[in-house]
Structure 1
């Protein structure tokens, strides 16, 4: 597993074997970031929230491409060590914040809003629905921001969750990426 593009391009990321952490494959990450680049134009100045961060690969890829800061949330000790190791390896530790709590507790402690939120929970546990609902309650996504949720392709994810609506859906092997944005509001004349 490596950083695909940007100033840390080619840096190998520390990872682990086993079921506790399931990193997003290079192939899926490359497709995701290509799609995000076409939507954002540039990652320059973006603020990132990486939930269920695992190795930190998604947030670090965004930082490598020009994002300003990334907040990583993961309650697993192994994941926390990987995020710290990988942020140092990529020379981006000064742009990283690690919150070592379960996501549902961490969201209440996070201040500010984010341009891009990565959501990569363990598959088939219903965590996309509950986490998007919490994100909606806390209003953590900037008005033009995006949420990228990764789930097993056999799992149904609702079209609308809280204030967010799915705007795109792409499958790669057994993985489906769901892109959510704010639900459009009707303007009154």
Structure 2
């Protein structure tokens, strides 16, 4: 059962989804990830999008650390229901929205939402090509200075960021690879 590491809800546990084998981001990787996000000042007041939410550990950690709002997208209906219960139990229902559906379909409906932080932690069977396509679909829903974090297995081919996006680096933690990137700010272009 994932545990929120720090912030207002630090130490609280998050019940996992019923009857579904999820692969939550390990506590070690989350700690490293959020240390980096804190260093970049990417959390305070952020509008977070967590595609492929699973346990919701990434978005819930972001909310605990100062994000203003989070949208969690999860294909598996019972898991989405559990995410809603978890948000309510943690007192986050007013700052946390859960949508059941395919990441690609929901992303296509988000134009103009202005998310400043997005997590893409798909199941292993989602191809690199599908993720690269999803980044293009997602672009209109992101702020000009949004940060996107893609979590994959070390065995997966790394994504290639769209041509008008910055590559903000890659970190490897055992079997987990985190890639950081996002749209290039207009003044940087």
TM-score for both structures, normalised by structure 1: 0.88
Aligned partners of 2:188 and 2:66: how far apart in 1? 34
Structure 1 moving runs of 4+ over 6 Å:
none
Q: Are 1:52 and 2:55 matched, yes or no?
A: no
Question: Over the residues paired in the alignment, what is the CA RMSD in angstroms?
Answer: 2.1
Aligned partners of 1:124 and 1:140: how far apart in 2? 25
Name the stretch that deviates more: 11-20 or 107-116.
11-20
Aligned partners of 1:97 and 1:17: how far apart in 2? 19
Q: Give secondary structure in 2 for the equivalent of 1:160.
A: coil
Tell me: CA distance 1:108–1:90, structure 2 relative to 1, closer, same or farther (3 Å).
Answer: same
Aligned partners of 1:46 and 1:104: how far apart in 2? 22
Mapped contact 2:16–2:82 kept (Cα < 8 A): yes
Name the stretch that deviates more: 82-91 or 99-108.
82-91
Aligned partners of 2:81 and 2:71: how far apart in 1? 15
Residue 17 of structure 1 deviates from its aligned partner by: 8.3
Tell me: CA distance 1:174–1:187, structure 2 relative to 1, closer, same or farther (3 Å).
Answer: closer
Residue 128 of structure 1 deviates from its aligned partner by: 2.3
Q: 1:78: which partner in 2?
A: 78
Tell me: CA distance 1:159–1:166, structure 2 relative to 1, closer, same or farther (3 Å).
Answer: farther
Q: Are 1:133 and 2:136 matched, yes or no?
A: yes
Q: 1:118: which partner in 2?
A: 119
Residue 163 of structure 1 deviates from its aligned partner by: 3.3
Aligned partners of 2:133 and 2:77: how far apart in 1? 23
Q: Are 1:109 and 2:112 matched, yes or no?
A: no
Matched residue count: 185
Give the gaps of 5 or more residues in structure 1: none
Aligned partners of 2:156 and 2:20: how far apart in 1? 19
Mapped contact 1:47–1:68 kept (Cα < 8 A): yes
Aligned partners of 1:187 and 1:35: how far apart in 2? 22
Q: Are 1:181 and 2:182 matched, yes or no?
A: yes
Mapped contact 1:165–1:183 kept (Cα < 8 A): yes
Mapped contact 2:48–2:118 kept (Cα < 8 A): yes
TM-score for both structures, normalised by structure 2: 0.88
Aligned partners of 1:173 and 1:17: how far apart in 2? 27
Aligned partners of 2:38 and 2:188: how far apart in 1? 29
Aligned partners of 1:88 and 1:172: how far apart in 2? 32
Aligned partners of 2:52 and 2:186: how far apart in 1? 30
